[in-house]
Each structure stands twice: as structure tokens, then as C-alpha cells.
Structure 1
Amino acid sequence: MPQLYTMPGTCSLACNIAVAWIDAPVEIVNMAYGDHKKDAFRQINDKAKVPAVKLDDGSSLTEAAAILTWLGATYGGEAYARDKMLGYREAEALSYMTSEVHATFGPHFAVERSVDDEDCQDAVKEKAYENLGKQFERMDGILGDAGGEWYLGERSFADAFLYVLTRWIAQTPLDIADYPNLQKHRERMEQDEGVRKALERQDMEPIGG
């Protein structure tokens, strides 16, 4: 059985949610923080990051967008077909969320990776929060235009990753209330059985309104 490696507080939660939504036969291996830097895990992902999947043949698959695509193609059935427009739109949304928005959180989580000079670090973080605000405003608008319930108008794995991003808002100076569609989406996701199952498997709690 494939194994999905996760860690509390990380974007691996999106893949965990996807596994729950489609009831995929994938074992969840939730690691303690720091285990991702150990040699045992580096043999699975030499980037020392989660999520990562160890496949049945011993090979590995990394990066959230790739893992979500694999889950949908392998276990999702017709509802998550990769050859339908929803699949294309999902790939577009996940590319934006994982490469643009997730990356913008970089200075928040580890500003020293962006700039060595401590005198400049606060300014770099402030710019990151400014850019995040614009990105969340954009996603709030897309969600509203799609009807407000699901990011693409119907449920997709983009909603799982969006939930991760809106959880992270609480760690920043930004206020989820400034993005009412995203706030309602986060609240609705936390009532979802699959989301709650994934949170429990990852030793996490709902964040609340």
C-alpha cells in the first residue's frame, strides 16, 4: 500500500484530505516535526519536505500538486477524471496556489532564507504580507464568482489546498474577515467529514471562524 508522509501544520494536509475524500487505499504516516530532516525520510524525499508518497514499487512522488494529481488519476474515478475541464481547471488552480501563494508565505515561515540582513527582514515580511493580501483578495473573488461554495464551482482538490492556505492566515497580520468568501469556505470545510478525519490523522484541530 502506498504511504503518504505528512506532518502537522504543513501543506501535506491537502493530500491527506484528498485521500479521505476519495477513500484512497493509502496509509497516512504522520511524522513528528523534525523527522523530515532525518536520513530515513531523506531516502524517500531528499528535499526533506512533506508531502511525499512512497509507492508500492519503492519509488517516491513529491510535491503536493503532483501527489494530488496522482491521487485523482489513480483513485478518483470519474469524479476526478484528469481529461475533463474540471481537471484542467484544478491543475491551473493548484499550480497557482502551490507555486505562487505558498511561495509568498516563505518570508513568514523562514525570512532568513530570503534575506540575511536582520535589519531588512521586517521589511521583507511586510512586503510578503502585502502580496499575500492581494493573492487572497484574488482567490476570494474567484470563489465568489464560482458561487461561493467550491473554488471551481464544484468540489475539487483545489478546495483542499485552499483550506490549508486559509488556515495559515491566522498566523499572519491578515484578517480572514477581510475575505468573506474564503472565511465561509474555511468554516464549511471544517464541517466536512473528510477534512475532520484528515485533521485528526495529522494531530491537528479545526481553526474555527
Structure 2
Amino acid sequence: MYVLHWEYMAGSIVAQALLHEVEAEFEQRHVDMSSGDHKKPAYLDINPTGRVPALTLPNGKTIGETGAIVTYLCETFPKARLSPQSTDADRPEFLFWLNVMTSTGYPTVSRWNHPERYARSDAAIAEVEEKGLADLNIFFDLMEDGISGQKTFLKSGFSALDYYLSMLTEWPADRERLFSTHPKITVVYTSASERPAYKKSMNSHALPKVAA
């Protein structure tokens, strides 16, 4: 059994969706980052980077980083066709855009959403947030231009890129503007978010109700 160490509305969205997609048996263990669980020795023994998500494999080893988790699941479950195969013509395209999403999109969201991690003074934090939002808009423009399929990111059809991009669209504050100005992204998100695996993932990210 796999064990997914996750947090609400974090990068675990895509990992959960893919695990559901391949029908893998897995357990979810919540890491409460607001309480600092990700910095405690118990979690650092599992993932020394202290980041979430992390995926413990059936052999007991753990990998972190969404890009690594996505790549691992794509390669471990080839019949699910989560990514082009090594001999497919669009394999390089898949790897390129996956790395753009993980190395540019994901950290840009973090910089915009948590500017206090990148500066100290109130003025500097405000500047980081403003620049993060501007860079995030540029990133989504890039994604819009990169989409080659009619309903999927790749022309060849559904892949893990559709889930990853959909996850990135979950975080911007003004999603209405994002979708109204990026019709291709809207179509990809609509198609991906209707898949049962993505629905299951997002259902688990609904914050539990606090008793009055």
C-alpha cells in the first residue's frame, strides 16, 4: 500500500488524483502545516525537505516533490497512459511542460500566496506579493499558448499534465478572471475536473466543518 502525506489545498491534489486514476491502494496521512507538523522530527524523518506532499512507496521508501511523484506514478502504471511512453513523439514535450509547471508555476503560486517567506519588512512583502501575482499571470499566459490539444494539454490526449495544470488553477484568488481570459485553460480544466479521480481528490480537500 502507498501512503500519501498530504495537506489541504496543497500539491497533494495532483498526487491524490493520479493515485485514484491508477486505482492504487493508498492511505492518506494528514500533515497539519499550520501546526508545524512538517517541521517536526517525525515528518522530517520521512521527508527531510519538510515539504508536502510526500509519497511512501510499498517498499517503505519515500519520495517528495510533485514532479518526482508524478513521474514515478506515470512510469509505474504505464497502462494508465498518464504520460507518453519513452518512444512516443510527444514524450519530450510532456517532460518539458511538466518541469515548467513544477519549477515555474508551483513556486510562483507559493511566492504570491506566501510572500512573507521571501521578505521581512511589510513593504518588501507587499512587493513580493505584487510581483508574484504579475509573474503568475505571465505563467498562465504561457500555459495558454502551450496547450496543443482541443480538450487536453497535449494533442495526443489526456495526461498527468491536465491534472497538474488544473491543480494550479485551484489557487488563484480571481479564478473567474483566470478562466475568462484563458479559454484553452478553461477547457482543459473543465475536462480534467469532470474525471472521477480528480473529483475524488478535490472532495478530500474540502475543509472539515468546525463545530459551533
Q: TM-score, normalised by structure 2?
A: 0.84
Counterparts of residues 82-161 of structure 1 (less than 5 Å): 82-85=85-88, 86-143=90-147, 146-153=148-155, 154-161=157-164
Aligned to 1:176: 179
Structure-2 separation of matches of 1:126 and 1:159: 27
Q: What value does the CA root-mean-square deviation take over the aligned residues?
A: 2.4
Residue 53 (1) aligns with residue 51 (2): no
Deviation readout 1:117-149 (Å, 9 max, x if unpaired): 221222221111111111101111222xx1331
The 3-state SS of whatever aligns with 2:20 is helix
Amino acid of the residue matched to residue 122 of structure 1?
A
C-alpha spacing 1:172/1:191, structure 2 compared with 1 (3 Å): closer
The 3-state SS of whatever aligns with 1:170 is coil
Q: Which moved more, 1:98-107 or 1:80-89?
A: 80-89
C-alpha spacing 1:125/1:173, structure 2 compared with 1 (3 Å): farther
Counterparts of residues 51-90 of structure 1 (less than 5 Å): 51-77=53-79, 79=81, 80=83, 82-85=85-88, 86-90=90-94
Aligned residues: 203
Amino acid of the residue matched to residue 47 of structure 1?
T
The 3-state SS of whatever aligns with 1:169 is coil
Deviation readout 1:28-83 (Å, 9 max, x if unpaired): 33444443333322221122211111123322111111111111111232724641
Instruction: Give aligned-pair identity as a percent.
Output: 23
C-alpha spacing 1:78/1:55, structure 2 compared with 1 (3 Å): closer
Structure 1 unaligned spans of 5+: none
Q: TM-score, normalised by structure 1?
A: 0.85
Structure 2 unaligned spans of 5+: none
